[in-house]
Amino acid sequence: MENKKVLLGMSGGVDSSVSALLLKKQGYEVIGITLEMFDNDSNVSLDAKKVCDSLHIPHYTFSCKNDFKRHVIDDFISCYSNCKTPNPCIECNRYIKFGYMYEKAKELGCYYIATGHYARNEYNKEYDRWVLKKSNAGNKDQTYVLWNIQKDVIEHIIFPLSDFENKEQIREIAREADLEVANKPDSEDICFIPDGNYKAFLENNSSIKAKVGNIVNSSGEVLGKHTGLYNYTIGQRKGLGIAYKVPLFVLGFNEEKNEVIVGEEKELYKKEILVNNINLLLIDKIDKPMLVDLKTRYSTKSAKATIIQNENTIKVTFEEPQRAITPGQSAVFYINDIVLGGGKIM
């Protein structure tokens, strides 16, 4: 008999709540789970539990604060310590939402896990494996933050929202079902920094402290002073405090000299980059040059690029130079709408 037990990750938001409703309608035996991931996170389960109670499905809350700190918060701090700009959702999805939660699912006898992500998966005969694919949600597709999950988990995932094109459709379902969270606002900030002030978070939770240094151009000319390398990101224009004959943008950092390097916008464009921390979902190795669609940020459009793997890195050559590519962010490779894999920009 098919195991139709599914463990659904629930944050108390409208996406995961409607996912619970849809899964139940589809005949799954749904168990809701809320993960407490950091301090001051103890109230997140209240809305999720209310939804589960209204749908008559069980709900559990588990603390994974130690795992979250080790894999997500510590990585976040480490990146900024090394002049990189992290995307903590990438690590959270790999180790917590599709790692820790999958292990809990097996403990509870569930064959499937489910989340409210906008993505899809299916078995692909050409590649003879389960693949991760873009959803129908257009700009809200979330496969960019899912490239780093374990490929063995893909066949065990259900994405109930894969066919929806926009958030309003989800909210309408919630309203029709009288779910209290129907009009709950989306959370836009980093979950463990609800006020959005990541600089204060770093100063209060790590050894990173403001250290004044020089702002220089590509020729080494000193143009001003900065307030700490972690206060700046590549592509930044505002807040430099420099009066100059042309607009200046942050190009990069010299960590050894404690310098922020700035330049004109045309200097922000790159034709080639290197990627490490590789995770391939579609194939096991890139043994010859491949033409792919590649995204370097969640919010940017994909660009055509050729990739080739060399031991522990992938060399990326874009057809057209790309703007403000940022170390620490992810480069995600697509073959049409299938996620080939990805890595971290060096």
Looking at the annotation, which residues are catalytic?
92, 191
Residues 313 and 276: beta-carbon distance below 8 Å: yes
Residues 21 and 173: beta-carbon distance below 8 Å: yes
Q: Quote the CA–CA distance of 103 and 138 in Å, as a whole number.
A: 31
